[in-house]
Amino acid sequence: MADNERIEILGVPVDFIDRDRAVEKFERSFPEPGVTMIVTPNSEIVQRASKEPELCSLIGKADIIIPDGIGLVYASKIIGRPLKERVTGIDFLETIVAYLEKNGKSIYFFGSKPGVAEKAAENIRKKYPQLKVAGCHDGYFKPEEEAGIVGEINDSGADFLCVALGAPKQEKFIYDHRNELRVHGAIGVGGSLDVWAGTLKRAPEFYQKHGLEWLYRLIQEPTRIKRMSALPVFMLRVIAGGRRK
Ligand code: UDP
C-alpha cells in the first residue's frame, strides 16, 4: 500500500492508507517546512462534505486524510478499493505524541471546555512523561479572539498543534491560519481531549474491536441520534453509486 494514494468516497478524498503508512507519512512530512495538516474524517463528515463543496475541497487540501471510522472502511469495500483498517483520530494523536516525545518536540492543546485540555495534557504526560506541553487553551472563544489565540500558539513555540473544536470547525481553523501558524503540524481531533481528560469514556475494547464505537458513543450521548441518523443514508448513497444525491 503506497502512502500517497487517495480514493474518493461520495466524491470526497480519503487517503488509501493503513495505520503504519499514515505514521510513515507523518514522520516524513512533519520536518518539512509549512504546516502538515492532518484531518480525520468519519462517515458523518464525508457525508456532509459530499454536499458542501467548500468542506470537500478543504479536506482535499490536507496533507494526510485519515479514514477514521468503520463506515468508511465498509464504503471503501463497496467501491472496490478496500481500506485495510480504520485509523482512529485518538490513536493517531497518541502516535504523534509518542513521536514528539521521542524527538523532544512540543505540543499545544487547543479546544474543548475550560480545564479539559490541561487535564488531558496532565493525563497523557503520565504515559509520556518527557512530552513537552507548550500550552493549552479552551475551545470557547469569540471570533474576534481567534487572532489572539493564533498569537498565543505561536508565542508558545509549539512544534505541533492539536485542535479539538469538533468537525469541521477545527479543520477550518487549521486551514484558515495555516500560513500564520508557526507549528510544523496540526490535527483536528474532535472529542479526543475529553477522552484523555476522562470527561468522556472511550468505548470498551469489545465495541472498538467490532466497529461499534459509534453505538457506545450513542449510549453515552443520546442527543447524537440526529447526527447519526445520517449514517444509513451515507451507506445507501455509497451502494447506490456514489455521487448521486
Ligand atoms: N468544542 C469546542 N468549541 C466549540 C464546539 C466544540 O471546543 O465551539 C469541543 C467540545 O467541547 C468537544 C469537541 O469540541 O470537546 C467536539 O467533539 P466531538 O467529538 O463532538 O466532535 P465531532 O464528532 O463533531 O468531530
Residue 80 cell numbers, joined: 472496490
Task: Confirm if 11 and 239 have CB atoms less than 8 A apart.
Answer: no
Rounded to an integer, the average pLDDT of 220-245 is: 79
CB atoms within 10 A of CB 104: 10
Give the torsion sign (CA, 10, 72, 162, 207): positive
| pLDDT on residue 76 | 96
Q: What residues does each domain of the chain span?
A: 6-197
pLDDT in tens, 82-138: 999 999 999 999 999 999 999 999 999 999 999 999 999 999 999 999 999 999 999
| pLDDT on residue 194 | 96
Q: Which atom of ligand 1 is nearest to the CA of 141?
A: 8
Burial call 49-82: b when 16+ CB within 10 Å, e when fewer: bbeeeebbebbeebbbbbbbbbbbbbbbeeeeee
Query: Whose CA is closest to atom 4 on ligand 1?
Result: 165
- CATH for 6-197 is 3.40.50
Residues with Cβ within 8 Å of residue 168, at least 6 apart in sequence: 45, 48, 49, 55, 58
User: pTM to 2 decimals?
Assistant: 0.92
Q: Name the 3-class secondary structure at 58.
A: helix
pLDDT in tens, 9-54: 999 999 999 999 999 999 999 999 999 999 999 999 999 999 999 9
| pLDDT on residue 1 | 61
Q: How far is the CA of 232 from the centre of ligand 1 (A)?
A: 23
Residue 72 cell numbers, joined: 468508511
Residue 241 — pLDDT band, cuts 50, 70, 90?
A: confident
Task: Check residues 4 and 176 and name the one with the higher pLDDT.
Answer: 176
The residue type of 238 is V
| pLDDT on residue 191 | 93
Residue 209 cell numbers, joined: 474491536
Best CA proximity match to 203, nearest among 222, 220, 178: 220
Is the pLDDT confidence value at 244 over 60?
no
Q: Which of 194, 201, 223 has the most ligand 1 atoms within 8 A of CB, as the residue to mutate?
A: 194
| pLDDT on residue 136 | 98
Rounded to an integer, the average pLDDT of 157-168 is: 97
Name the DSSP class of 85: -
Q: State what percent of residues in the chain have pLDDT above 90.
A: 79
Rounded to an integer, the average pLDDT of 167-188 is: 97
| pLDDT on residue 213 | 84
| pLDDT on residue 2 | 66
Task: Confirm if 192 and 40 have CB atoms less than 8 A apart.
Answer: no
| Mean of per-residue pLDDT scores for the chain | 93
Q: Tell me the C-alpha distance between 67 and 228, whole Å.
A: 17
Q: How far is the CA of 171 from the centre of ligand 1 (A)?
A: 12
Q: Tell me the C-alpha distance between 85 and 74, whole Å.
A: 10
Strands (E), 165-239: 185-188
- Residue that the C-alpha cell 493564533 belongs to: 150
| pLDDT on residue 220 | 84
| pLDDT on residue 245 | 45
Q: How far is the CA of 166 from the centre of ligand 1 (A)?
A: 4
